[in-house]
Structure 1
Amino acid sequence: MKDALDDILVIELGTVLTAPLAGMMLADMGARVIKVEHPEGGDPFRRHAGTFYSPHFTAYNRNKESMQLNLQSEEGKADLAKLIVKADVLLDNYRSGVMQRLGFDDARLKELNPRLIHCSVTGFGTDGPYRDRPCYDAVAMALSGIASQMVDAEQPSLKGPSLSDNITGMYAAYGILSALHKRTRTGEGARVEVSMLEASIAFSPEGFSQYTRLGLVPHTLSRVAVSQSYAFRCADGRLLCVHLSSVEKFWQGFISAIERPDLLEDERFRTPAARAGNYLELAATVGETFETRNREAWSQRLQAHDIPFAPVNTVPEVMQDPQVRHLDVFYEVQHPQEGKLTAIHRPVRINGGRGPSDKAAPTLGEHTEAIRSEFGLS
C-alpha cells in the first residue's frame, strides 16, 4: 500500500522540537517534507553535539529534505513564496508576529495558495499577555500544571524527557491531518494554531476534572496512588515497576506472588480506596519484601500470577528487550556522509506494514540544489 500522505508537500520552517516532530510524523506517513534552514548553521538542534548532525537533530528529522534559504533576504522570501504556491502544508514554530514581519501574513498566504494548510506552533498563543514571551519545554510544563505533578516541592528538580515539546508536535500533526481531510471536501485551506501551553493542559485533563468536580488539587502522588503504581528496588539493586490498577484480581495475585497474605487483613490496605490513601505506607511495606529477591526472580513470580509489571529499563536495556526486538523497533540506515546510523521505525502500522524504508535525517542543505532546480528558484 502506498503511504497515506504520499501526495502531500510540506514546507517546514521549524527548529528544535515542536514543528520538526510534527513534520517528521507527516514524513513518516509518506509526505514530502522540505525543511527550510538558515544557511548559517541551520536548525540550532544540529549543533548540540558540536557538529551539524547531532543525535538530537537526527531524532526529530528523519525522512526529510534540507534546503538552505535566507529568509532575511528578498531573494529568499521570493523563493519561499514559490515553494508555498506548490505546497499543501506550511509548518512553522516561530514566535508570534515573525511570519507577518517576513511578509507572510494570513492574507498573503491565502493569496499565494488558497488551498494551503498553515500550521503555526507558538508557546502561548498568538495573542494575550504572554504572546511575546519565549517558551521552551520546561516553561510549558511548569505553566500548564504538569510539572507540579512531577516535581517534589521539598527537593525541586526537573527530570525526564521533553514532554510539552513532543505533546505539542503531536497535536500539531493531528490538527494538520484534520484540516487536510476537510480540504478534500471543501477545497479550501485553513490556519491551524497550536500553543505549547494549551497542548500541555489538554494532554493532562484528569487533574483539572478532579479539581473542578471534587476540589482536589493534584500532586506528585495523586495519579500513582489511585492507579496503584509502584517502583521497587530488588535485592540486586535493579528496579521493577508494578501497576495494579483498581482490578481486585491483580491485588489478590500480587499478594500471592510476594507471599504476604498478612496484607489482606491489614485495615490500611483492605480496599482500593484504603490502599490509595495509604500509598506510601504500602509502598514501604512491600518494598522491604522486594529487597529479598533479585529482579529476575520477581519478574518470574509476577508473570506467573499475571500481574502487570515491567523492569525499569535503561535505554540500552530497552534496545535489547525481547519484545522490542520482536517488533523491530530499531534499525540501521546508511547516510552518504555520516555513515551507519541507528534509527526508530514509525510506531504506526497500516495493513500490517510501515511503508517504504525510512531515510536518515538530512545534512544541512543536502537537497538545496535539487530543490532549486525542481521549483525554478533563484
Structure 2
Amino acid sequence: MQALDNIRVLDLTRILTGPFCTMMLADFGADVIKIEPPAGDDTRRWGPPFINGESAYYLSVNRNKRSIILDFRQERDRQRFLKMVEQADVVVENYRPGTLAKWGFDYPHLKAINPRIILASISGFGATGPGASRPGYDVVAQAMSGLMAVTGDGSGPVKAGFSVGDIGAGMWAAFGIMTALWARERTGEGQWIDTSLYEALISWQTYLAGNYFATGELPKPLGSAHPNIAPYQAVRAQDGYLVIACGNDALWAKMVQECEIPFGDEPQFRTNPDRVEHRPELIDRLENEVFQHRPVAEWLERLARAGVPAAPIQSFEQVFQDPQVIHRAMDVVVDHPTAGPIHQLGIPLKMSATPGAVRTPPPLLNQHEGEILRQFGLSGPVPEDDAATHP
C-alpha cells in the first residue's frame, strides 16, 4: 500500500515546477495522468543530452505517470477533460494566470462540475496582484526574490546552481495539495491552491529576512560563508577545499585543539559574535597559517575525530559513489521502453509503513491514451495496443 493510492491527479503541467510537484505525488502512489498538447511537454525537446532520442531533462521529473494527448483547441478534447474532472481528485497546472479561464477550466467551473476537486496553480508571481501577468522563469524569480543579491562572492550576480525557484514552488504546491486533501476529509469540499516561484523563494529567506527586519541592513553575498556563524564555509587546504560548519563555541574549541590553531584563543576569535565580526581575518589566518599545510583528507580525518562537522566538496560523480547515497537508494534504475535502463534520483522521504517507490519510467507521449479513455468511460478511435505518438 502507498499513502496516495486511489488519489487521481490530472496533470496539466510542463517544464519543471509542475512536473516536480506531480512526481512527488506519483512517487507515493497517486495516479498521475500527464495531459499533454499534441507536441508534448516542451522538455521532451530540451537537450542535449538525449538518451536514444529521449530528453534527459524530461526523464528526470516525469516517472510514475501516464501520458495522454488532449488538444484544448478542440471542443472534443475540452469536453473530455471536463468529464475526467468529474472523476478526479486534483488538477495541477502551471500556465500563466488566466489561461485556464479561456478554456473554461478555472476553479469556479471545475468546482461546479466536481465540488471535491482540488485545483493547484503554480505561476511565476501568483494569480493575483499587479505582477500576476508577468511571465515566470526560475532565473527571473531568483533575480527578483533577493536570492541573486546574496549569492556569489560579490563580483557579479550569480544564480543558484539549479532551479530552486521551480523546485521550491513545486514542493509548496505538493504540500498545499496534501493539506487540501486532509481538509477535504473534514469538509467534503475541495479548494483552489495558488502559489508561485517568487513567493517560494521569498519564503526561504528565513534568517536573512530576519536579519534585515532586525537591522535594516541589506544582506550581502558572502560566497560560501554564513552571515551569523563563523567559521561556517569553504576553506582552502593544501590540495583543494573543504567545508567547515563550526556552529557553536564548543565546536570551535574542539577545532582549535584538534587542528592546533595557535591563534584560536585570541580575543577577536573567542566567541561566535567575535568571529563573525572578524571573519575576513579569521578565514585568512585559518587558510594561510593552518589549513595550507595539510591535504583535505587529513583535515577531514582530524575534524571527524574531534566531532566537528566538515565535508569535502564533491562532484556529481563522487556524490553517486558515496556509500551513504548508495545505502539510501538515492540512485535507482528503471527500464524505459526506448531509452533502456535509465538512472533516476531516489526518494528522499523514507516512510516505514507507506513508502514511496519508483514504479514506472517516464511515459512516452500519448503512451496510455487508450487505457485512460477507457478508465474514464470516454470513447475515441484508439487502437487497443495504445501505440505511442512521438513529437
Local SS of the residue matching 2:149 = helix
CA distance in 2, matches of 1:300, 1:249: 19
The amino acid across from 1:26 in the alignment is L
Instruction: Describe the SS at the equivalent of 2:156.
Output: coil
1:82–1:116 distance in 2 versus 1, CA, 3 Å: same
Aligned equivalent of 1:369: 370
1:235 aligns with 2:238: yes
Which residue in 1 is equivalent to 2:56? 55
CA distance in 2, matches of 1:368, 1:356: 24
| Partner Cα separation in structure 2 for residue 282 and residue 373 of structure 1 | 68
- The aligned length equals 373
Measured at CA, do residues 286 and 14 of structure 1 come closer, stay the same or move farther in structure 2, by a change above 3 Å?
same
Answer yes or no: is the 8 Å Cα contact 1:27–1:64 preserved in 2. Answer: yes
- Structure 1 range deviating more: 250-259 or 83-92: 250-259
For 2:325, the equivalent position in structure 1 comes to 324
Q: For residue 10 of structure 2, what is the aligned residue in structure 1?
A: 11
2:28/2:357 contact within 8 Å kept: no
Contact in 2 for aligned 1:332/1:341 (Cα 8 Å)? yes
Q: Shift of residue 76 of structure 1?
A: 1.5
Partner of 2:200: 199
Cα distance, 1:159 vs. partner? 4.2
Q: Distance in 2 between matches of 1:72 and 1:155?
A: 44
Q: RMSD between aligned alpha carbons? A: 1.7
CA distances 1:4-54 after superposition (whole Å, capped 9, x unpaired): 1011000011011111111011111110100111112x1111211255621
1:280 and 2:283 aligned: no
Q: Deviations over 1:131-189 (max 9, x none)?
A: 11111111111211122111444333334111111110000001110000010111101
Task: Report the alpha carbon displacement of residue 369 of structure 1 after superposing the two structures with TM.
Answer: 2.1
Q: Is the 2:151–2:158 contact (alpha carbons within 8 Å) kept by the matching residues of 1? A: no
Find the residue that maps to 1:286 and give its secondary structure: helix
DSSP 3-state at the match of 2:351: coil
- Matches of 2:99 and 2:252, distance apart in 1: 55
Is the 2:23–2:63 contact (alpha carbons within 8 Å) kept by the matching residues of 1?
Answer: yes
For 2:35 and 2:226, locate their aligned partners in 1 and report how far apart those are by CA, in whole Å: 43
Question: When the two structures are superposed, what TM-score results if normalisation uses the length of structure 2?
Answer: 0.91
How many Å apart are 1:373 and its aligned residue? Answer: 2.5
2: CA distance, partners of 1:326 / 1:234: 29
* Paired AA for residue 38 in structure 1: P
Out of 239, 244, 247, the position equivalent to 2:246 is: 244
Question: Could you tell me how far 1:208 is from its partner in structure 2?
Answer: 2.1
The structure where helix makes up a greater share of residues is: 1
Aligned-partner Cα distance in 1 for 2:292–2:125: 46
User: What does the per-residue CA deviation read over 1:48-88, in whole Å, with 9 as the maximum and x for residues that have no partner?
Assistant: 12556212111111111111111111111111111111110
- Structure 2 unaligned runs (5+)? 381-391
The offset of 1:268, in angstroms, is 2.4
Distance 1:358 1:255 in 2: 49
Which stretch of structure 1 is more off in the superposition, 278-287 or 172-181?
Answer: 278-287
Alpha-carbon distance between aligned partners in 2 of 1:352 and 1:103, rounded to the nearest angstrom: 40
Equivalent-residue separation in structure 2 for 1:5 and 1:48 (angstroms): 31
SS at match of 1:226: coil
Report the Cα offset of residue 201 of structure 1: 0.9
Structure 1 alignment gaps of length 5 or more: none
The equivalent residue for 1:34 is 33
Mapping 1:179-194, distance limit 5 Å: 179-194=180-195
2:169 & 2:281 partners in 1: Cα distance?
37
Is 1:346 equivalent to 2:330 in the alignment?
no
Deviations 1:64-116 (A, max 9, x none): 11111111111111111111111100000000100001111222111111100
Which deviates the most, 228-237 or 132-141? 228-237
Q: What is the identity, as a one-letter code, of the residue corresponding to 2:65?
A: K
Which residue matches 2:384? Answer: none
Q: Deviations over 1:322-341 (max 9, x none)?
A: 21122222121111221001
Q: 1:132 to 1:225 in 2, by over 3 A?
A: closer
